[in-house]
Chains A and B, each alone.
Chain A
Amino acid sequence: MSDPAKPAPAVPAAAPKKPRLAENDIDHELLKRKLGDRLLRIEVAFDQTVLHVAREHVLEVLRTLHDDAELSFKMFTDVTAVDNLKREDFEPARRFKVVHIVYSLEHGKRLRLETLVPEQDPTCPSAAPIYKGAAWVEREVYDMFGIVFTGHPDLRRVLTPDYYEYHPLRKDYPLTGKGERDNFVRAEELA
């Protein structure tokens, strides 16, 4: 296989590993101890710690993360969602994934929570009772994905008009819409 006339190609030096951000360096054992069996799975994705939580435990987990002095995740960065419809291993029970991102100002740590939401019953408990700032971002997730946040103080659409019938970021909604943008009538046609 090796040709003595040709020198073996130099093995490229491994790219230097990026130093880990301090905010991602989280004590998993502490999280496991605090959350107990409400934690389905804990993993590190893109160097960030991700907690997988069942839907019925989301509120309790957020409450613990917020209130516990050793965790103290007081800042709510974002809540967003993922539509798994076009995935190869799609199944209706795992249609949506709600992603909460919280940050601990006290300890400088960031955490991601992932919760699966089924297609038939697209609801998720609202984080607004714990984090006031969650109310508006949850409205956006409701508007774009149609996930209903139970216990939300004022769940209305925020980006699309109130009369809109669809949730545009769902993968079964066409990019160019269903004719809403052409649905205004000129005066000449009305008369």
Chain B
Amino acid sequence: MGLEQMIPSLAGDGFFTTQVNRVIGWARKNSLWPYPFGTACCAIEMMATLNSRYDLSRFGAEVIRFSPRQSDLLIVSGRITLKMMPVLAEIYQQMGEPKWVISMGACASTGGVFNTYPQIQGVDQFIPVDVYVPGCPPRPESLIDALIKIQQIIDGQAERHEFTRPDRPVEAGVVEQAKKN
């Protein structure tokens, strides 16, 4: 920026210049608070990822919140059924912007082996998903990789000054539909 050259008294150690949106992005990506929507065996792997052996807190995402109001990363880990989909959609709606979604494992992403009447064949049909994690269930390393990819997404959004996500309208339809039914 050259500010340090213009004001000589600012020059020296412990000083740098940047942009506010990059600082916000840096703060966001290193303090993700996940909401664990664990419904099946993927949740066991998610718990392993959070515990000391894999230690997700190395990436600043150890503060698990059980309230959607306090979280900004939704980890959908497990089978989502007909009865659970309106619940998941409501949880997603209740999360404040900005928010990101990880679809963890084969069942959440595609329905997995459960091509049956109650099984939602991929939650991305009804809520937006940022990162998909393959595996049945995925190993903790895969979930860590997904978290790092979410951090890269946040970096990109900060660079582009995307502080909310106008391209992703709130999924009012899912809950309305369930109430109608």
Q: Can you name 13 A-B pairs with beta carbons within 8 Å? A: A160-B82, A161-B178, A175-B115, A176-B117, A177-B118, A178-B117, A184-B126, A184-B174, A184-B177, A186-B173, A187-B169, A187-B171, A187-B173
Cβ-defined contact, A181 with B171, below 8 A: no
Cβ-defined contact, B172 with A177, below 8 A: no
Q: How far is the CB of A181 from chain B (nearest CB, A)?
A: 6
Cβ-defined contact, A180 with B117, below 8 A: yes
**Bound Cα distance from A174 to B118, whole angstroms:** 12
In the complex, B170 has a CB within 8 A of chain A = yes
Q: How far is the CB of B122 from chain A (nearest CB, A)?
A: 10
User: Which residues in window 152-181 of B have CB below 8 A to A?
Assistant: 169-174, 176-178, 181
Report chain A residues within 8 Å CB of B125. 182, 184, 186
Chain A interface category by residue count:
20 to 34
In the complex, A22 has a CB within 8 A of chain B = no
Cβ-defined contact, A160 with B118, below 8 A: yes
User: Which residues in window 68-85 of A have CB below 8 A to B?
Assistant: none
Q: How far is the CB of A135 from chain B (nearest CB, A)?
A: 21
User: Interface residues, chain B, CB within 8 Å of chain A?
Assistant: 82-83, 85-86, 89, 115-121, 125-126, 169-174, 176-178, 181
**Bound Cα distance from A92 to B60, whole angstroms:** 63
Q: How far is the CB of A188 from chain B (nearest CB, A)?
A: 7
Report chain A residues within 8 Å CB of B115. 175-176
Cβ-defined contact, B173 with A190, below 8 A: yes
Cβ-defined contact, A183 with B120, below 8 A: no
Report chain A residues within 8 Å CB of B181. 161, 163, 183
Cβ-defined contact, A190 with B176, below 8 A: yes
**Bound Cα distance from A164 to B82, whole angstroms:** 10
Cβ-defined contact, A186 with B117, below 8 A: no
In the complex, A189 has a CB within 8 A of chain B = yes
**Bound Cα distance from A168 to B82, whole angstroms:** 13
Cβ-defined contact, B116 with A177, below 8 A: yes
Q: Mark A87-109, 1 if CB is under 8 A from B, else 0.
A: 00000000000000000000000
Closest to B93 in A: A187
In the complex, A13 has a CB within 8 A of chain B = no
Leading 10 A-B pairs by shortest Cβ distance: A177-B117, A163-B181, A185-B173, A190-B173, A187-B173, A187-B169, A184-B174, A184-B126, A161-B83, A185-B177
Report chain B residues within 8 Å CB of A160. 82-83, 118
**Bound Cα distance from A183 to B89, whole angstroms:** 14
In the complex, A191 has a CB within 8 A of chain B = yes
Cβ-defined contact, B121 with A181, below 8 A: yes
Report chain B residues within 8 Å CB of A164. 82
Residue in A163, A181, A184, A187 whose CB lies within 8 Å of B117: A181
**Bound Cα distance from A173 to B173, whole angstroms:** 27
Cβ-defined contact, B172 with A190, below 8 A: yes
Residue in B116, B118, B119, B178 whose CB lies within 8 Å of A184: B178
